[in-house]
Amino acid sequence: MQDRILDQFQRVGEDLLRLKLTTSHGGNVSVRHQGKMLVTAHFAMLARLQPDDLVEVPLREEPDNITSDASKDVALHQLIYKFTPAGAVIHAHPAHAVAMSLTTDIIAPQDLEGTVFLREIPVVAAAEASVRIPQILQTHVAVVVRGHGSYAVGRTLNEALAYTSALGLSCEVAYLTRQAGEEEAAD
């Protein structure tokens, strides 16, 4: 495996944790690479990735035949690559996005960056994730699974991280706006 790819995974993993977009062992990351997919191993610490934490998986092989070392989301990543031109996928757990997903079916950013980069973010039920996420990511850069976390796509890991980060900020801004409105109403 190329050191450059490992370095990209490590930087993105560190950023996801530093920016509080996931937990120490939560989320997963993948890239399309030479007709295959490189995906983080199940339960890998994204902020401390080592070479053994990246698993090479055929893009077209049935999930049942894939090594158990790969993330449990490997089949969903395969479907995303099958139905979108994505070069990278990041699954994270931005707290404010997860919270908002519990009360809405569409997250509509109010901040300028969110409205420009994200437009709107659909929220899907976990039971529908494998069917709906690949479809949604054909026309959106991110989607949130209700009560769980986000999936963002990009041409590169850096682009998928930018969308994940923008989603986290947009949801935090929406939360703070709502909280400020409630405090103002109470006064």
CATH number of the domain that residue 173 is part of: 3.40.225.10
Taking CA atoms, 33 is separated from 16, 66, 109, 156, 178, in Å, by: 21, 17, 32, 11, 42
Please check the confidence at residue 80 and state whether its pLDDT lies above 60: yes
- Domain interval for residue 21: 3-186
* Confidence at 62, pLDDT banded by 50, 70, 90: low
Mean pLDDT (the chain, rounded): 92
For 87-138, the pLDDT digits (tens) are 999 999 999 999 999 999 999 999 999 999 999 999 999 999 999 999 999 9
Domain count along the chain: 1
The gap from C-alpha 27 to its chain's centroid, in whole angstroms, comes to: 7
**183: pLDDT confidence band, cut at 50, 70 and 90?**
confident
